[in-house]
Amino acid sequence: MKLLFATANQNKAKEIAALLPASYELLTLRDIDLKEDIPETQNTLEGNAKQKSEYVLNNFQLDCFADDTGLEIPALNNEPGVLSARYAGEQRDSEANMQLVLDRLKGKDDRSARFRTVISLELNGKQYLFEGIVNGTIREGKSGDGGFGYDPIFEPENCGRTFGEMTMDEKNQYSHRARAFEKMINFLSEMAE
C-alpha cells in the first residue's frame, strides 16, 4: 500500500520510512511534484496538520497524512508550541530556534518540556487524528549532532541522552512522532483486517 506523507521535510520522511512495515511504500510531496510550501496558518498543531492533509486531498484528490509537531515548555507558557519551526523567525533556522529557547530559559528552575505530534489522516473521505507525546527536559546546552530541530537540547524522560545523541532507531523508541505514527499504523492495520 502506498502512503503519501504531506511533507517536504526529508528528515521527517526518513524517520517515518524507518517505522513503516514492509507492506507500505512512503511517498512525499516530491513524488507528486509539489514544490511550494503547504500553508500552515492555524494556531494549533491539530489545525496545521488538518490544513496540510486537506490541502493535498483538495488539490490532488489523494488520500494522505500530514503532521505538525511542537515543543511545549511550561516555563515559557508552552512556547514555542505551534511556532516551533519559526520560533526565531520565518527563516526556520534550527540553531537560532534552539538558542532562543536556551536564552529564555536562563535562570529558570523548571526546564520540563514535551514534544507533541499530531497526525491528520485523510482516508476514504474521512479524517482521523492521532497524537504522540514524549515528556522530557531542556538541557542547558546542546549535546549531540544527530536528528534535527530541537533534538540536541531535548532529553526524553529516563533516558540520560538528548535526541541529538541518538541514532534514528534509538530516537524512534522514544519519539513523539513515532508514537503518533504507530497509532496510525495500528489503525490502518485494523481497518485492513
**Quick one: pLDDT at residue 191?**
80
Q: What is the pLDDT of residue 193?
A: 67
Which pLDDT does position 183 carry in this prediction? 96
Q: What is the pTM of this model?
A: 0.89
Axis-axis angle for helices 10-19, 176-192 (nearest 10): 50
Which residue stretches of the chain are H helix? 10-19, 45-60, 94-105, 168-172, 176-192
| Number of neighbouring beta carbons within 10 Å of residue 27 | 16
Contact present, 117 and 179 (Cβ < 8 Å)? yes
**Could you give the domains of the chain?**
2-192 (3.90.950.10)
**Catalytic sites, residue numbers:** 68
DSSP state of 5: B
Q: Which of 39, 104, 41, 38 is nearest to 71 (CA)?
A: 104
Q: Which residue has the cell 541518538?
A: 166
Q: Give, in degrees to the nearest 5, the angle at Cα 151 between 95 and 21.
A: 130
Q: pLDDT 10s per residue in the chain (193 long)? A: 788 999 988 888 888 888 888 888 899 999 999 987 788 899 999 999 999 999 999 999 999 999 999 999 999 999 999 999 999 988 889 999 999 999 999 999 999 999 999 999 999 999 999 999 999 999 999 999 888 899 999 999 999 999 999 998 898 888 998 999 999 999 988 887 6
